[in-house]
Amino acid sequence: MRKKIVAGNWKMNMNLAEGLKFAESVSRYFNNKPAAKAEVILCTPFIHLGGVSAILENSKVASGAQNCASEESGAYTGEVSAGMIKSTGAKYVIIGHSERRSYYHEDDAILNRKTSMALKSGLKVIFCCGEVKEERETGKHFEVVKRQLGNGLFLHSGKEMAEVVIAYEPVWAIGTGLTATPDQAQEMHKFIRQLVSEKYGKEIAEDMTILYGGSCKPSNAAEIFSKPDVDGGLIGGASLKLDDFTAIVEAV
C-alpha cells in the first residue's frame, strides 16, 4: 500500500535548545491525536539528531537527517556517515536536495553512492529531484528529472526501492513563494511514477510514495495533495512553525 508522508526539512535553522523544544511540541501534538493519515518525519541538522530521535522514540513522529557521507567510515573530516545517523534512532535521510546539488556540487554519481550507503545502513531514503527555472522555461524539466533519477537512484535494485521515497522539488518553487500548480505537480509526479514503472514494474511504481516540495503551506497543501500521484509533501519554511506544519499534515 502506498504510504502518505509529510516530512519537515528544517535545513540550517534553530539552535539545539530550540530544535529539541520544537520536536517536543510536534511529538506532543501528534501523540495526543488519533492516528494521522500521514507518516510525519522531522529532518533535522546533525547536531540535533541524537536529541530529537530520543524525544521521538516511541512517538508517532519519525526523525531523519538531511544528508549523509558517501563513504562508510574513516578519515573524512567533517562528514557524518549513514551508520552514525542510523545509530541515533533516525529512520530517514534526505539525499539529493537541490541545495546540496547546487551549493555543494553533489552530482548524480555522488548521490548514487550516498543512497547506497544509506540503504546499506538500514535508513530509508528521501531522494530529491527537480529542475531549475531555466530548465522548466525551455521545456527540459522532464529530461532533467529523468536523468537525476536514472543516474542517482535507478542503479539500485527493486527490493531497495521499497525503502525509497521520491520527492519532486522544482527548484524555482523552493523558498520563493512560487508553487507548482497542482496540475504541474501531478503531471511530473505521474511522469516519475511512469519512469519507476518502466524500470521496476507496475507494482513497485504503484507503491512508491512521491512527495511534492516547494513553498508548500497550509493554504495550498490540500489542493496539491488532492492530486492522485501526490502522496504528501517535503516542507521547508512552513515546517518551522507548529501551526503551519500540523495544518499541512492535516491537509493530507
Q: Which residues bind ligand 13P (CB under 6 A)?
A: 9, 97, 169, 174-175, 213-216, 234-238
Are 225 and 233 in contact, with CB atoms under 8 Å apart?
yes
Judged by DSSP in three states, 1 sits in coil
Taking the least distance from each CB to ligand 13P, the nearer of 64 and 214 is 214
Task: Report the nearest approach of ligand 13P to the CB of residue 24 (Å).
Answer: 22
Catalytic site includes residue 97 = yes
Judged by DSSP in three states, 180 sits in coil
| Residue 99: all three cell numbers together | 541545495
If 0-12 CB within 10 Å is exposed, 13-18 middle and 19+ buried, where does residue 235 land? buried
Taking the least distance from each CB to ligand 13P, the nearer of 34 and 177 is 177
Q: How many angstroms separate the CA atoms of 124 and 135, rounded?
A: 29
Helix or strand (DSSP H, E) at 166:
strand 164-168
Taking the least distance from each CB to ligand 13P, the nearer of 9 and 44 is 9
Judged by DSSP in three states, 30 sits in helix
Task: Report the nearest approach of ligand 13P to the CB of residue 202 (Å).
Answer: 28
Catalytic site includes residue 169 = yes
User: Which single residue brings its beta carbon nearest to ligand 13P?
Assistant: 236
Task: Report the nearest approach of ligand 13P to the CB of residue 185 (Å).
Answer: 13
Are 133 and 171 in contact, with CB atoms under 8 Å apart?
yes
Q: How many angstroms separate the CA atoms of 234 and 224, rounded?
A: 12
Task: Report the nearest approach of ligand 13P to the CB of residue 72 (Å).
Answer: 26
User: Which of the following is catalytic: 39, 48, 97, 189?
Assistant: 97
Task: Report the nearest approach of ligand 13P to the CB of residue 94 (Å).
Answer: 7
Sequence-distant (≥ 6) Cβ neighbours of residue 22 within 8 angstroms: 14, 240, 242
Report how far apart, in Å, the C-alpha atoms of 114 and of each of 84, 139, 195 are.
13, 29, 21
User: Which of the following is catalytic: 131, 156, 169, 189?
Assistant: 169
Cα torsion 151, 216, 184, 206: sign:
positive
User: Which residues form the catalytic set?
Assistant: 97, 169
